[in-house]
Amino acid sequence: MIPIPLYQQSRDEISWFEEALEAGLPVMLTGPTGCGKTRLVEHVAARSGRELTVVVGNEDTTSADLLGRFLVRGGDVEWTDGPVTTAVRKGSLCYLDEVVEMRRESLAVLHPLADHRRTLHLDRRDEVVDAAPGFGLVCSYNPGRSVGYRELRAAFRQRFVTIALDYLLPEQEVEVVCSESGLDEPRAGRLVRQAGALRCAVAQGGEAPSTRMLVNAAQLLVRGIDEHAAVEICLLGPLSGRSDNQGTDALRKLIAVG
């Protein structure tokens, strides 16, 4: 049995996700960094007993990285399936994380897989692969980072059922932090309140603390790290992104630690 990762839903996104997959529809998850997009995919995959293939996109990701390529082995040239092709043949769940980072021409090869055809065209092999039963295509990205040339083309985006995620309500986030780390509720509540203050401050632009960062801080608190230090190194430091202390000092003024 595959353990089912904890996922705290804010609406009814688990049901929406599962029904879309059962209908053979591709799913796009959007939301800020660290709000639970990947955890939702892991949760649904485990609930359904599907094998999960994960591809983390970047600007160097090519169609060959997704579909496969010919490689020389022992003097022979052999075709090797890429992760997407492997998932299509096996009928597993294929998750493309940070899809907005990928080249547009790389995503174009997924068009027939993301509509009613549910097929993958391997032009280099002159082969068309039908998606095996159980296959599901899932993509995700942070809309806050998809600006300018990073925006997804409508021809790709409109093929998907899109589920927008956001940070949890404070009481829900406290529950997640406690469950993931074993931290007591009062200290978890302080972390969540501090994160809330930072998120409100950057609501008009900027980087906000993720639930993942709160869990990191909570895990250190459980191990005996001082509360001020845990917040400094797990929240303020990563958010400032600067080698000096100016960024951290500015963030520190937004919250009252302790």
Alpha-carbon distance of 37 to 113, in angstroms, equals: 21
Looking at the structure, do residues 116 and 154 belong to the same domain, yes or no?
yes
pLDDT value of position 236: 87
Q: Please indicate, yes or no, whether residues 219 and 144 belong to a single structural domain of this protein.
A: no
Tell whether 20 is covered by a domain. yes
Q: Domain tally for the chain?
A: 2
Distance CA 162, CA 31 (A): 11
Residue 8 lies in a domain: no
pLDDT in tens, the chain (258 residues): 568 888 999 899 999 999 999 999 999 999 988 889 999 999 999 999 999 999 998 888 999 999 999 999 888 899 999 999 999 999 999 999 999 989 888 899 999 999 999 999 999 999 999 999 999 999 999 887 655 446 789 999 999 999 999 999 999 999 999 999 999 999 999 999 999 988 887 655 567 899 999 999 999 999 999 999 999 999 888 887 654 454 555 566 656 543
Same domain, 99 and 178: no
Q: Say if strands 27-30 and 161-164 run parallel, antiparallel, or are unpaired.
A: parallel
Q: Are residues 26 and 143 in the same domain?
A: yes
- 231 and 114, same structural domain? no
Same-domain status, 53 and 24: yes
Residues 204 and 135 reside in one and the same domain: no
Q: Which distant-in-sequence residues (6+ apart) come within 8 Å of 258 by Cβ?
A: 190, 227, 228
Domain boundary among the residues 145, 164, 183 is at 164
Residue 19 placed within a domain: yes
Q: Are residues 126 and 233 in the same domain?
A: no
Final residue of a domain: which of 164, 179, 202? Answer: 164
**The tokens 């990928």 sit on which residue?**
102
pLDDT of residue 250: 54
The neighbouring-strand residues paired with 81 are 68
Sign of CA dihedral 31, 33, 38, 44: negative
Range of the domain at 246: 170-252
Instruction: Give the position of tokens 């039963």.
Output: 133
Domain assignment present for residue 155? The answer is yes
DSSP assignment of 86-150 equals HHHHHT-EEEEETGGGS-HHHHHTTGGGSSTT-EEEEGGGTEEEEPPTT-EEEEEE-GGG--GGG
- On whether both 229 and 154 belong to a single domain, the answer is no
Same-domain check for residues 153 and 179: no
* Shared domain check, 158 and 182: no
| Residue 192 and residue 108 share a domain | no
Residue 7 belongs to a domain: no
Q: What is the pLDDT of residue 245?
A: 52
- In this prediction, residue 257 carries a pLDDT of 41
Whichever domain contains 63, its CATH number is 3.40.50.300
pLDDT for 136 equals 97
- Cα–Cα distance, 123 to 141 (Å, whole number): 28
How far is residue 136's CA from residue 113's CA, in Å, rounded to a whole number? 10
Boundary residue ending a domain (164, 184, 217): 164
